[in-house]
Structure 1
């Protein structure tokens, strides 16, 4: 390799490192902004918040917020996953729905595989509502559970949940939902991400109580009555 070739190679390598450093720095700054937003969101609700720094300088870390809604534990956190030769960040919500939701029922979104099997007559459990049966994969639906899922207040929150999250599950009374490569950067985005979860939690409460979450613009927090 000639001196000229070495110089060109070094220049290209240096440019690549420089670009990577700049991209990493801006990601780090974005993460620092997210820390402040998540911290403020948690503080106003009396929740705990814990950021975990990245392994390297100027590398983004992960975030974790813990609290309660409708008297039940709620966790919102991010984690990195290695998928298809690349790292992706997932934002995950977990919320205990409590004893008012039938614990034997397992609910997941209807996938392409499920829709394909239906073409050959292989059906998952049905509850008799065309809209819900089209978007939900249901298991262990007892008559009592069916009555709860078909109640007037449950239908819309379940549909909204399926629309908001491509990946979610309700199992043993715990809702888990996630989005990939989407980390809320504003309080409005945080509130919007949690909206389908709080709507379902309110629906599960049913006649036992009503929980209100006011919009960010009112400056008022949820109350129970």
Structure 2
């Protein structure tokens, strides 16, 4: 009996069975993920794409885009991330770039210039800053904004760019509760930023402008 199991045909049959089990598990996971995203979208009146994991619309009055993307320079290191974007409603200048990336996710040899500083030791240690206009500094240093920014350091990547807050995490949430949890801290930060900004900073984008920004491909991502 054992000789049959360890024969070339026996090994091949075992590999085929194992492969089928892996594929079935992945299929079930994809179905569970899709169902969770559909439940989340329906609960908040958001739209979900037919052929990809992408949700967009207005979440609690704020423009949102939630999608999956691929990261990794090589096939062995390639992995899926979930990317969340929230509109900051003009509270910060579009030219401002504030970015945090975990050391293990940085591209080897990539330059990390530090030409500008916010003026807070913890923030400057955690974030790279470019295009820091004078009116942006007090907003970033607002106690509520500062605390929430530092609270996002555990994510794979966090950035404020072009007037949007973008947060990435590895993997794809497979429950509506996990999606709600993913949004909670970034949404609190986005709200703190708009509350800290002077009323004159806020700009109301036209529906056409908002749609065009929402339809842009996520920076550095490939929709999965």
Shorter-normalised TM-score: what interval? 0.7 to 0.9
* Alignment partner, residue 141 of structure 1: 132
Q: 1:26 to 1:51 in 2, by over 3 A?
A: farther
Question: Do structure 1's residue 167 and structure 2's residue 167 form an aligned pair?
Answer: no
1:189 paired with 2:178, answer yes
Residue number in structure 2 paired with 1:205: 194
Q: Distance in 2 between matches of 1:206 and 1:27?
A: 43
Equivalent-residue separation in structure 1 for 2:144 and 2:35 (angstroms): 36
Distance 1:18 1:65, change over 3 A: same
Matched with 2:39 is: 40
Aligned pair count?
A: 187
- 1:179 deviates by 1.7
- When the two structures are superposed, what TM-score results if normalisation uses the length of structure 1? 0.73
* CA spacing shift, 1:111–1:46, aligned 2, 3 Å: closer
Q: Which residue of 2 aligns with 1:219?
A: none
| Structure with more relative contact order (C-alpha pairs < 8 Å, separation 6 or more) | 2
Rg comparison, structure with higher value: 1
Whether contact under 8 Å (1:153, 1:206) holds in the other structure is no
Tell me, yes or no, if structure 1 residue 178 matches structure 2 residue 177. no
Question: Structure 1, residues 109-155: CA drift from partner, whole Å, max 9, x if none?
Answer: 166499xxxxxxx7442112112111111111122111111122211
Distance of 2:89 and 2:71 partners within structure 1: 29
SS in 2 for 1:93: strand
1:68 is aligned to 2:79: no
- Tell me: CA distance 1:20–1:81, structure 2 relative to 1, closer, same or farther (3 Å): farther
Q: For residues 84 and 170 of structure 1, what CA distance do their matches in structure 2 show? A: 27
CA apart distance, 1:198 = 0.3
Equivalence for 1:126: 117
Deviation beyond 6 Å, 4+ runs, structure 1 = none
The answer to whether the aligner puts 1:8 opposite 2:7 as a matched pair is yes
Q: What is aligned with 2:204?
A: none
User: Residues of 1 paired with 2:103 and 2:70: CA distance?
Assistant: 25
TM-aligned CA deviation for residue 64 of structure 1: 1.3
- Distance between the aligned counterparts of 1:82 and 1:155, measured in 2? 30
Give 1:81 shift.
5.0
CA 1:132 to 1:35, structure 2 compared with 1: closer, same or farther past 3 Å? same
Q: Which moved more, 1:86-95 or 1:192-201?
A: 86-95
Alignment check: 8 A CA contact 2:114 2:128 kept = no
Query: Does the Cα contact within 8 Å between 1:110 and 1:134 map onto a contact in 2?
Result: no
Structure 1 unmatched runs, 5+:
53-61, 115-121, 209-225
Counterpart CA distance in 2 for 1:17 and 1:131 is 52
